[in-house]
Structure 1
Amino acid sequence: MTSNPRVNRYLKDKAIDHIDHALGRPVDPMGETYRNHFAVSKGSELATAFEASPNWQLNGYRDGMAFYSVTDAGRKALKDHLKAIGDPWQPYSVTWGGHTVLIAAKSIGNAKYSTYLDVSDCYSELKFVDFAREAKARRVAA
């Protein structure tokens, strides 16, 4: 069970979207993420912008590429931005059939439905109404 699930989102602010992308689009930018890297062409306009920003740290060069990671300031900037725009994604715990999964969703109903879609391939006779009745979902602290 992943403690910081990923979400499928796009942020209009490109500088913040790059941070979100580098971290793997986590629900909680301050939590542990499965990745933290961004590669750009060495000397490019984007590399110059990263160099000037406190949100990025240069990790090195290889094969004409510059590799960066997000700093704590960058994580905080992403967290503040998500709060400011009212990002609806939250972590939810869904339990069904003796198994619990942690997923990102916009509501309890969305969490149950997303989990149902994940298990319905294996349980083709399972109807959502039956799954929803049996499954337990709750929002967990981020």
Structure 2
Amino acid sequence: MNSNPGVNRYLKDKAMDHIDHALGRPVDPLGETYRNHFATDAGGKQAQQFAASPNWEKVGQRDDMAFFGVTDIGKWALKDHLKAIGDPWARYAVTWEGHTVVIAAKSIGNAKYSTYLDVSDSYSELKFVDFAREAKVRRAAA
């Protein structure tokens, strides 16, 4: 079970979008993420900007590619940015037939329906109305 699922979002602020991308677009930038890297041209303008920013640390270089990781300062900057723009994504725990999954969704209803779509692949006879009646959804703790 992934306790910090990723989301499908694009941020207009390009600096924050790069941080979000490097972390794998997690619902919570401060939580454990499955990745933390961004590759760019080692001699390029972007590498220079990253090297000068407290949000990034250079973690390696191979040939003409530089690799940067997001610092704790960068993670906090992203978290603050998401709060400031009113990012709707949150973690929800959906329980059905004794199994609980943690997913990213924009609302309780969205969490229930998204989980139903995943479950209905294996249970083709399952109707949403029946799933909705049986499933329990709660906001998952951070």
Relative to the length of structure 2, the TM-score reads 0.98
CA distance in 1, matches of 2:98, 2:63: 49
Which consecutive residues of structure 1, in runs of 5 or more, have no partner in the other structure?
A: none
Deviation at 1:48, TM superposition (A): 1.0
- Which position in structure 2 is the counterpart of 1:84? 84
CA distance in 1, matches of 2:61, 2:96: 47
**Number of equivalences:** 142
- Which position in structure 2 is the counterpart of 1:33? 33
CA RMSD, Structure 1 to Structure 2 (Å): 0.7
Which consecutive residues of structure 2, in runs of 5 or more, have no partner in the other structure?
A: none
CA distance in 2, matches of 1:100, 1:77: 31
Deviation at 1:112, TM superposition (A): 0.4
Relative to the length of structure 1, the TM-score reads 0.98
Deviation at 1:50, TM superposition (A): 0.4
CA distance in 2, matches of 1:60, 1:93: 37
The aligned amino acid for 1:59 is V
Cα shift readout 1:76-111 (whole Å, capped 9, x = no counterpart): 000000000000000000001221100000111000
* Counterpart check, 1:93 vs 2:58: no
- Which position in structure 1 is the counterpart of 2:22? 22
CA distance in 2, matches of 1:16, 1:43: 22
SS in 2 for 1:61: strand
Q: What are the equivalent positions in structure 2 for 1:122-141 lying under 5 Å apart?
A: 122-141=122-141
SS in 1 for 2:137: strand
- Which position in structure 1 is the counterpart of 2:56? 56
Cα shift readout 1:44-84 (whole Å, capped 9, x = no counterpart): 11111101110000012102100000000000000000000
